[in-house]
Chains A and B, each alone.
Chain A
Amino acid sequence: MATNVSVSITVNGAEHTADVEARMLLVHFLRDELALTGTHIGCDTTHCGACTVLLDGVPIKSCTMFTVQANGQAITTVEGLARNGDLHPLQVGFKEEHGLQCGFCTPGMLLTASALLESNPSPSEPEIRKAISGNLCRCTGYQNIVKAIQYAAEAAKGDER
């Protein structure tokens, strides 16, 4: 019944080859096969964004993509955000500005925000709110998430100077 397919996917810079069921969702591949449990599952219908990862730099919802569709591409998960042990400015911003409470939506938020800052290093508040509107948070009311992203944008400017 189940047909396995061979895939090769680069995750956080490391290439992984595996035989997976054709129907295996990308989020299950990341969580169950690679034990990267920072990517979460919240709704099954692409609404909540807890499963957001970057696919070749673009935020996608890994609960609505089959593993085989990511074959040959590069994925970034929350575990890949820090570089050489240095936290991403967004990770610092979320802590400094109290941009998280239960922490369940946080990984998806961080990745969506990282893609925003890549394309728009100085987003306005409405631009930030629009960018994260595919990521639901039940704890924070988003206000401090917005501030956390602004913090990271400012920090990145500081680094460039």
Chain B
Amino acid sequence: MSAAQTQELGGLGQSVRRKEDARFIRGQGKFVDDVQLPGMAYMKLVRSPYAHARRGEIDTAAALAIPGVLAVITGEDLAASNLAWMPTLSGDQQMVLATGKVLFQGQEVAAVVGETRFAAADGAAAVRVEYEELPVLVDPHRALDPDAPLLREDREEKTNHIFHWEAGDREATERIFSEADVTVSQDLVYQRCHPAPIECCACVADWDSANEKMTLWMTSQAPHAHRTLFALVTGLPEHKIRIISPDVGGGFGNKVPIYPGYVCATVASLTLGRPVKWTEDRSGNLTSTGFARDYHMRAELAASQDGRIRALRVKTLADHGAFNAAAQPTKFPAGFYNVCSGSYDLENAFVEVDGVYTNKAPGGIAYRCSFRVTEASYLIERAVDILADEIGMDPVELRRKNFIPPESFPYDTPLGWTYDSGNYEGALDRALEIIGYEDLLREQKEKRERGEIMGIGVSSFTEIVGAGPGKQCDIAGLEMFDSCEVRIHPTGKVLARIGVQTQGQGHETTFAQILAEELGIPVDDILVEHGDTDTAPYGLGTYASRSTPVAGAATALAARKIREKAKKIAAHVMEVAEEDLEWKDYAFRVKGAPDRSTSMADVAFAAYTNTPEGVEAGLEAVHYYDPPNMTYPFGTYICVVDVDRGTGEWKVRRFVAVDDCGTVINPMIVDGQIHGGLTEGFAISSMQLVDFDENGNIIGGNFMEYLLPTAVETPHWDTDRTVTPSPHHPIGAKGVGESPCVGSPAAFVNAVVDALSPYGVRHIDMPITSDKVWKVLREAGITE
């Protein structure tokens, strides 16, 4: 095929400008809070001021006396219809509205519905709730102490322990550790943080009593899965539930779970028989919806003296808050954390995780992350640097020496994964070349002699994305396939609908590019729709970088199904035998006489006007794709920081990101995804923290305390790539949205720790704020 043709079509590898931008730049995006319906009422939640308390009486009289207040819903009201609790995506249950006890500050206690937002807010302020305070459990390390308060009285097991999970070979790993030349051990905390998309959660529930149909506009990253769960929990028939996830203002995993507000608005609409809107405020978002991480990890490596890494041992305490509401595949209580052997060829490894309850918001969601791979990647990339420090080896050389070599793929890891493809040294070399590593080392040496503080941090991460396979990965029993339905209209224009849901990733453009490539129809003639469960085929949604690996594959294969049928029609139209035709250069061509050709548009017209005998009219296909394996994107990031000797401030001088996500659909969008993910990785390593005082009061419940980087702090990103296609994906693509957020925190921390290593520093926990660095410098006598 000619490059000019591909460019004209907007096929694979083209930086096609995004179709969805047309509405966003005009302020015509349609977000949930933009939905206004006749007769719509507003809902406001009443939240608990205490982290742990017995909930007494709720006095609603004053609230109901306020003009315009329509209803106050309590946990007892929900209990009457068996909705006071709901299942989480991790096999636990969670209170919708508190009955009995409250378990975290900000927990939902009542919902007030009013004619206006003012009435709802006034009503919420007037609800009186009695509380009797209980001892609070904040520190997860104390959760299993005999004198720790028992948080979950609803469970049969009278303990704060949720699960124990392990992978790998404990004995073989122990054996290597006992005989190894060198071992290192480091405690690392991957702090609790929150995705904080700029759009908070929201829904509009609209009960149509005549047709007995519930329409829910919802900030949902997984509308179909949510529809099924709504049907199972509420008892409404699934065909009478329509979930529309319109434009979503950022998700990052925050909009995967089902939240109490959605359920309350649904109940309110059913009760009142009118539409009810719930829009979360920012503090509600930060205090009660899915947090991420909170992994307290011990990483140990065993190695030979010359730097051959032999084994990895990991022990982790996972703080899940009051309910285990992690959104991840059912069979993986610690997600894909066992990808923590990373890019390295180890003899063996063993990892174990214990999950515990504390008096904090529920969650454990995958924040720009494929189910705990961020924790895993951070762990191994920090541990390798610590080993390098121990044996006095350059961290780059240590990585190079231990990489899984390109010829070893597919590669079975000691922790149970089969990596599809990789060329880790290729990405490393490219990054070293771009950043000029040798020069940087020389500069650092000179600067250190002058007392200046500069650090270089490297991270050579391996990602795991694209869940399914369905037999291995399910969400609440739903196998993690995904789907695409394609219709070609008689005039050669295309409508495609996909089971995934964009929150800014640009699906309306990139999925059209896949179809342009497969069908030879220009990208401008292809409309991609998603997010409406009444029209889109069933899918598991967009998170964990699964859209391109799973739904992208479904899209390519749906198009290929169309090509099969189209070939019969083309043969009929061209009056040649089907076997004399081939699909080449975006058209059906006669073998040996490629100038004799028929375009897909011409075939489409014939599919409705001139069908051959025995062929159904129309030109449509649907494909449900169950991937045979995950995909494993990878890359190397290198970060250079300068540290201010007086204040401890660290600044990123240079950051080079070399990513390999396999086949690239749209380079502009891939670069944009990397910029965004690196910025979130920077935010996590430098400022984002949800903390609590000893009474369980949240510190980080608004944007005054929970810091997000502005354009001023955010570094400039240099991006580049290598291309190692996935051997099992129809177009060789691997997914990219999360790689930068997964791979970069270790690069930042490695850089700052490297800068401070002359002062005996081997590790600093994130977020590395200036005051942490300043304390190091003060202790070293560098600053006062």
Interface residues of A (CB under 8 A from B): 1-2, 21, 23-24, 28, 31-32, 35-45, 47-48, 50, 77-79, 81-82, 87, 91, 94-96, 98, 100-107, 110, 128-130, 132-146
Contacts and interface: CB of A to CB of B under 8 A. Distances in A.
Contact of B249 (A28, A31, A40, A146): A40
Contacts of A95: 17-18, 21-22, 25
A32 to B, nearest CB: 7
A38 B28 contact: yes
Nearest to B21: A95
B675 A103 contact: no
A91 B25 contact: yes
Given A101-B504, A104-B197, 13 more contacts: A38-B26, A39-B27, A44-B702, A79-B27, A95-B22, A102-B199, A102-B504, A103-B24, A107-B27, A132-B711, A137-B198, A141-B717, A144-B672
A23 B198 CA distance: 24
Interface stretch (B6-14, B29-37, B622-630): B29-37
Nearest to B42: A32
Contacts of B647: none
B676 A141 contact: yes
B283 interface: yes
B112 to A, nearest CB: 16
Nearest to B34: A37
Nearest to B680: A138
Given A44-B281, A79-B26, A98-B672, A138 B197 contact: yes
Closest 5 CB pairs of A and B: A38-B27, A104-B249, A103-B24, A102-B504, A78-B27
B167 to A, nearest CB: 32
B409 interface: no
A95 B200 CA distance: 24
Contacts of A104: 29, 31, 197-199, 247, 249-250
Contacts of A141: 675-679, 714, 717
B704 interface: yes
A94 to B, nearest CB: 5
A136 B198 contact: yes
Contacts, number: 187
A96 B200 contact: no
Interface of B: 17-18, 20-31, 33-34, 36, 66-67, 117-118, 122, 195-200, 247-250, 252, 279, 281-283, 503-506, 668-669, 671-673, 675-680, 702-704, 708, 710-712, 714, 716-717
Nearest to A93: B25
B678 A77 contact: no
A87 B24 CA distance: 12
A43 B703 CA distance: 7
A44 B282 CA distance: 7
Nearest to A92: B25
B705 to A, nearest CB: 10
Contacts of B122: 1
20 contacts: A1-B67, A37-B27, A37-B31, A38-B27, A38-B29, A40-B33, A50-B198, A87-B25, A100-B21, A102-B247, A102-B248, A102-B504, A103-B29, A104-B249, A130-B711, A130-B712, A138-B252, A138-B680, A140-B676, A141-B717
